[in-house]
Structure 1
Amino acid sequence: MSTKPALIITGADLAQQALDLLTGYEIVYAGKAPTEEDMVALCQQHDPVAIIVRYGKVGASVMDAAPSLKVISKHGSGTDTIDKVAAKARGIEVVAAVGANAAAVAEQALALLLACAKSVVQLDARMHAGHWDKATHKSLELGGRTVGLVGLGAIGLRFAKMADALGMRVIGFDPFAKHLPDYVQSVPLETIWREADAISLHCPLTDENRGMLNAATLAQCRRGVIVVNTARGGLIDEAALLDAVRSGQVMAAGLDSFAVEPMTAGHPFQGEPRFILSPHIGGVTSDAYVNMGVGAARNALAVLHRAATV
């Protein structure tokens, strides 16, 4: 039995650079798809002082199974899989590696936007099938068009810089953003629906914004708008988006996150030609893997150090 305090990682691995920071702790891996029951059992067995969250959810029952738990540290920026209300009630800090994967996710958003505007996936499939559609195909030019960003944190601002470099007009909504660069125009959310030729979501999921892109808001958008989501699937009413794409109200949707993950066979988006899909891998690059691991480890250690000195 180790004499070191335990730290559980809800995953099967962590970057070596992060592990090097955690040598004073017994590292316990929960695996790639830990259930609530798995986590409760591990907490009862090891009574961790910290949990680094990569996959799965951490709720009240998991916290109650770990009386020594001081901190839950997210391996990334989105903390919606952690019950923050329950954590606060138990005096457990929730921290996130904000910005650690900003470059990776912003690049994924740009890739999805370009794939939608330039019909990259469809044209590739046609070419491989032996077709040459030069005489009949027209792509969308992004320069001079307006992109609306919901969320102007590290990822949103990184994406905004790239969109500006393409010659796009950048408008954005974020009630918490301050000191925006001059190429980002802060506007109300209604202006984004009304004026954007492309909409990209970069905000955390909250009870207030769940389903913010729905039948009503999609109807307010310009016909032929492009929708990109590399944030959280719960921001979008998926049935409404499907209807909007099929009707042509939305030209195409580039999605890296979904209401239920992992996506299972038979999902209505599957087989739809104007949906460009990726399996929530926007933040999954070799660089971001290290950055998020190190950020999560440092954040956890900072809280544990404060707790030890109180």
Structure 2
Amino acid sequence: MSRATLIVTGADLAEQALALLTDFDIVYAGKAPTEDDLVALCRQHDPVAIIVRYGKVGAAVMDAAPSLKVISKHGSGTDTIDKAAAKARGIEVAAAVGANAAAVAEQALALLLACAKSVVALDARMHAGHWDKATHKSLELNGRTVGVVGLGAIGLRFAKMADALGMRVIGFDPFAKNLPAYIESVDLATLWRESDAISLHCPLTDENRGMLNAATLAQCKRGVVVVNTARGGLIDEAALLAAVRSGQVMAAGLDSFAVEPMVAGHPFQGEAHFILSPHIGGVTSDAYVNMGVGAARNVLAVLERQRTTAA
């Protein structure tokens, strides 16, 4: 009897995850699979499951895999999966929620601190032989307000760390319940108006695409710090560039971008007051294992539930 196939849209999977998937033939799509690559692999192998690391899984990929029952995200963000197409085809979509929460929250804090303390600029100046003690002033975060957009596992963890720094934490999330006492729930207009720093931790949807734009940035305090470790599409990049250049935004710490990977000549490159990282907030050795195991467990849980229901 032939074994079921599972496709990984990446070049590898943690050993701990593979140990859970010994009943499957694992096929790797490589580090940067295109839609055509995935369609070809699905036609060749007809997988029952796909674990999504890189690339997008849309209707064409699903239609090329008639046996497909579950698409499992290696992480928490499922915006690279066409969930409407999956639902229409009876394919379940699952995410490894919280598997990379600590890693991403720490990256957001690192970017916030780097912006507030001019870490990158001062490092470059020191290496060039300068000593700017007499002229430089950093931003103290204690007592200032941070606005957290999205209060899922990552946003909540970041909020806890911001509270530990002595910051006032305000947050917006229409779906969040039973928030800890140190988070003040506010509407977005209040968050834009009162925040000294803003950190984005929400999924990307059609409704919130470009939520941080020229109009909303104009509502913010002058000199606000912007941090994004969620999805690049949440920000109108041209508007952010203009706001940083004008001083409306003091600095931006970004780990995600509208188009990834970032290509040479991107307007942010070489700009002062932008601290950039290549969407690696969730990429730690621990998160790699946690996300792989979470994705594998979701595959097994969905398939088992479907078998039980069919029986």
Normalising by structure 1, report the TM-score.
0.99
1:24 corresponds to which residue? 23
Q: Please identify, of 245-254 and 2-11, the stretch whose mean Cα deviation from structure 2 is larger.
A: 2-11
Give runs of aligned pairs for residues 226-305 of structure 1, distance below 5 A: 226-305=225-304
Shift of 1:248: 0.0
Give runs of aligned pairs for residues 36-75 of structure 1, distance below 5 A: 36-75=35-74
Shift of 1:307: 1.5
Residue 44 of structure 1: SS of its match in structure 2?
helix
Alpha-carbon distance in structure 2 between the residues aligned to 1:262 and 1:192: 30
Shift of 1:273: 1.4
2:172 corresponds to which residue? 173
2:161 matches 1:162? yes
Q: Which AA in structure 1 matches 2:98?
A: G
Shift of 1:140: 0.3
The CA deviation string for residues 5-52 of structure 1, in whole angstroms up to 9 with x for no partner, is 000000000000000000000000000000000000000000000000
Question: What is the RMSD computed on CA atoms of the aligned residues?
Answer: 0.6
Shift of 1:241: 0.1
Alpha-carbon distance in structure 1 between the residues aligned to 2:158 and 2:305: 35
Residue 171 of structure 1: SS of its match in structure 2?
strand
Alpha-carbon distance in structure 2 between the residues aligned to 1:298 and 1:129: 50
Residue 85 of structure 1: SS of its match in structure 2?
helix
Shift of 1:79: 0.2
Shift of 1:3: 1.6
Unpaired runs of at least 5, structure 2? none
The CA deviation string for residues 218-246 of structure 1, in whole angstroms up to 9 with x for no partner, is 00000000000000000000000000000
2:99 corresponds to which residue? 100
Give runs of aligned pairs for residues 63-212 of structure 1, distance below 5 A: 63-212=62-211
Shift of 1:308: 1.6
Shift of 1:276: 0.2
Alpha-carbon distance in structure 2 between the residues aligned to 1:89 and 1:170: 40
Shift of 1:281: 0.1
Alpha-carbon distance in structure 1 between the residues aligned to 2:140 and 2:24: 53
Q: Which AA in structure 2 matches 1:56?
A: G
Alpha-carbon distance in structure 1 between the residues aligned to 2:14 and 2:72: 15
Alpha-carbon distance in structure 1 between the residues aligned to 2:37 and 2:119: 42
Q: Which AA in structure 2 matches 1:236?
A: I
Residue 107 of structure 1: SS of its match in structure 2?
helix
The CA deviation string for residues 235-294 of structure 1, in whole angstroms up to 9 with x for no partner, is 000000000000000000000000000000000000001000000000000000000000
Identity across the alignment (%):
87
Alpha-carbon distance in structure 1 between the residues aligned to 2:170 and 2:299: 35
Residue 307 of structure 2: SS of its match in structure 1?
helix
Alpha-carbon distance in structure 2 between the residues aligned to 1:300 and 1:215: 41
Alpha-carbon distance in structure 1 between the residues aligned to 2:123 and 2:115: 13
Alpha-carbon distance in structure 2 between the residues aligned to 1:98 and 1:189: 24
Alpha-carbon distance in structure 2 between the residues aligned to 1:119 and 1:138: 9
Superposed structure 1 runs of 4+ greater than 4 Å apart: none
Residue 94 of structure 1: SS of its match in structure 2?
strand
The CA deviation string for residues 79-114 of structure 1, in whole angstroms up to 9 with x for no partner, is 000000000000000000000000000000000000
Residue 21 of structure 1: SS of its match in structure 2?
coil
Unpaired runs of at least 5, structure 1? none
Alpha-carbon distance in structure 2 between the residues aligned to 1:138 and 1:72: 49
Q: Which AA in structure 1 matches 2:209?
A: R
Alpha-carbon distance in structure 2 between the residues aligned to 1:69 and 1:55: 18
State how many pairs are aligned.
309
Alpha-carbon distance in structure 2 between the residues aligned to 1:81 and 1:42: 18
Residue 160 of structure 2: SS of its match in structure 1?
helix
The CA deviation string for residues 151-205 of structure 1, in whole angstroms up to 9 with x for no partner, is 0000000000000000000000000000000000000011110000000000000
